[in-house]
Amino acid sequence: MSNILIIKHGSLGDLIQANGAIQDIKNSFKTSKVLLLTSRAYLEFMSSCPYIDGVILDKRLPRWNLFYLKDLKILLEKYEFSHVFDLQNSNRTKFYKKYILKKPIWSSSETSLNEGENLSDFNEDSVLHRMTKQLKKSNVIIKNTQAINLDWSFIDISRNLKQYTNGEYILIFPFCSKKHVKKKWPYFSKLIIKIKEIYKNKYPILVAPGPNEISEAKKLNAKLVLDDNQPVSINFLISLINSATYIISNDTGPAHICSHLNKKGLALFGSHTTAKKVNIGNTNFKTITVNNLSELKVDEILKKIKEDLD
């Protein structure tokens, strides 16, 4: 029995996007053990994924930390991987290919290029199309890469929800990474006030803040969904999204989840990227794109919400 390694460090949205590819890799190597190399934030979540046989932690310490790299190399060499599927395609994983995992057959964006094709052109394609091309080059049978199923990640949160709502609710994701402030629409606080004016108590408004977002979330006129004053788990988050009546989100990890669960709602995009490129949006989970998110008015969002809920 051979061992297969998949590398996907994150982020949350990217890892969600990779679930279909991970499933297709597992189905194409049924007699092999498929292991995932990922970062600490996703260790517990992906440990319950049925498409892999184990998870290996990569602390992603600086590359000048030679002691860590040596230990990682020794650990990974023990598995004698026959194939590595680099779904991260980062400078770090290129480094791993050159110095840490030199023997296995390697699949990456660079190994997927057609003759005369540039990596920059390849990267202009949407995320899921790039993944499809990469796996096809490695003779992986494609069935799920662009049809992601997250049913395995659901947990029963019905008892937890009773403290926030007795029925339907609107879920809002008003945050984004500090590195990507261009993704943040600045008027969620005003939107919440307007929604409450229109729908009264029909739709409680919930916010599930992540790490470092709790203080900001407390300033919003919404109910905070927490676990002992800490962010909820990824499985809880996915289940919370799955049970929501309507969702409004910046271009963040939860927006990917909403899209793949085909939830009713809106994702807001500025000029930082396109919804098509990151594979967010469908007939239920719609997108609004503007050049500058600060110019997107609350009334425009309200109009879309009314069209979907009234």
Q: Are residues 63 and 180 in the same domain?
A: no
What CATH number does residue 201 fall under?
A: 3.40.50.2000
pLDDT tens column, 136-191:
999 999 999 999 999 999 999 999 999 999 889 999 999 987 776 788 999 999 99
> Where is the domain boundary, 89, 124, 149?
149
Q: Are residues 82 and 201 in the same domain?
A: no
Question: CA dihedral defined by 263, 17, 277, 255, rounded to 10 degrees?
Answer: 40
Q: Kindly report the average pLDDT of the chain as a whole number.
A: 93
Q: Residue 264: its pLDDT value, please?
A: 97
Q: Which regions of 191-257 does DSSP assign to beta strands (E)?
A: 205-207, 223-224, 246-250
Report the 10 Å Cβ neighbour count for 117.
11
Q: Are residues 261 and 142 in the same domain?
A: no
Q: Are residues 167 and 237 in the same domain?
A: yes
Q: Are residues 135 and 161 in the same domain?
A: no
Q: Are residues 294 and 198 in the same domain?
A: yes
* DSSP 8-state assignment for residue 227: B
Q: Give mean pLDDT, residues 267-283.
A: 90
The residue type of 81 is F
Backbone conformation region of residue 252, classed left if phi is above 0, alpha if psi is from -120 to 50, else beta: beta
pLDDT tens column, 232-259:
999 999 999 999 999 999 999 999 999 9
Q: Are residues 144 and 206 in the same domain?
A: no
Cβ contact 229:153 at 8 Å: no
Domain that holds residue 233: 155-309
Q: Give mean pLDDT, residues 42-63.
A: 96
Q: Are residues 69 and 192 in the same domain?
A: no
Residues linked to residue 5 through DSSP beta bridges, in sequence order? 35, 84
pLDDT tens column, 210-232:
888 999 999 998 999 999 999 99
With 0-12 CB in 10 A as exposed, 13-18 as middle and 19+ as buried, what is 166? Answer: exposed
Q: Are residues 114 and 180 in the same domain?
A: no
Q: Give mean pLDDT, residues 273-288.
A: 92
pTM over 0.75: yes
> Count of H helices and E strands in the chain?
13, 11
Q: Are residues 134 and 171 in the same domain?
A: no
Q: Are residues 116 and 162 in the same domain?
A: no
Q: Are residues 198 and 248 in the same domain?
A: yes
Percent residues over pLDDT 70 in the chain: 100
> Where is the domain boundary, 92, 126, 149?
149
CA distance 251 to 278: 9
> Where is the domain boundary, 108, 126, 149?
149
Number of domains present in the structure of the chain: 2
Identify the band that residue 123 occupies on the pLDDT scale cut at 50, 70 and 90: confident
